[in-house]
Amino acid sequence: MSLMPFLLFAFVASITPGPTNILILTNSQHYGVRATVPALVSACAAASAIVLISGAGAGELLQKYPLIRQLMSWAGVLWLSWMSWQLFCAPAAHLSRETHTRFTAPAAALLQVINPKTWMMALAVVSLFAPAGEHALRDIALMALWFLLISVACLACWAWLGQAVNRLFRTSAAMVRFQRLMALSLFMSAWAGMLA
């Protein structure tokens, strides 16, 4: 396996906007970077575990039984659509730290399990970069570890961006507009994977 192309792929897959990135940004905006770390680490660990599981054979199962993959995709899209609606409808009074629903570590891990983007990324990693040979599982485990480190760094950037949002949007009206923009982005990123 050539490490540099894999690292570049992991970076692009982790830094580009997606449901997890948007929810990390929103959570950090409301609760700060430190309070977002558990969700951030949980999401990255779950995504890395999916890379490992896909490389160990689950990827072949999903390719063999497309109905399972389709059901997981629809479950993820419906859940993300509901979450985006909740973000969009939140009135200004509910955008404070006291009343906003947190993006928790278990929710972040579950999101990875039902997020079609995560599974498609893991399948791409395995099909493009997974080595064949007598130490294939060890090499896939190393890939999962590299992916974990890169994704933590990338999601940390999204968390810091969420903290910066508070300095940019100082009024309740501006925060509501930003919140609605994030809700629409979440909705579009969820459906883009299904329609692609």
The answer to whether the CB of 115 falls within 8 A of the CB of 19 is: yes
Selected residue with higher pLDDT from 79 and 25: 25
What confidence category does residue 86 fall into, taking pLDDT thresholds of 50, 70 and 90? confident
Residue type, 141: A
Tell me which range, 7-11, 82-86, 100-104, 173-177, is most confidently predicted by mean pLDDT: 7-11
What percentage of the chain has pLDDT greater than the value 90? 22
In this predicted structure, the answer to whether residue 94 has a pLDDT above a threshold of 50 is: no
Contact indicator for 166, 27 with CB cutoff of 8 Å: no
Cα–Cα distance measured from residue 19 to residue 30, given in angstroms and rounded to the nearest whole number: 17
Q: 99 is written with which tokens?
A: 């009343």
- Which has the higher per-residue pLDDT, 24 or 100? 24
d(CA 172, CA 175): 5
pTM value is: 0.74
Of 114, 118, 82, 116, the C-alpha closest to 101 is: 82
Q: What is the dihedral of CA 100, 102, 107, 109, to 10 degrees?
A: 140
Top mean pLDDT of 69-78, 142-151, 169-178 is at 142-151
pLDDT digits over 129-144, tens only?
A: 777 667 778 888 898 9
pLDDT of res. 1: 54
Highest mean pLDDT among 59-63, 71-75, 150-154: 150-154
Q: What is the pLDDT of residue 108?
A: 92
| Residue whose token pair is 């990827």 | 59
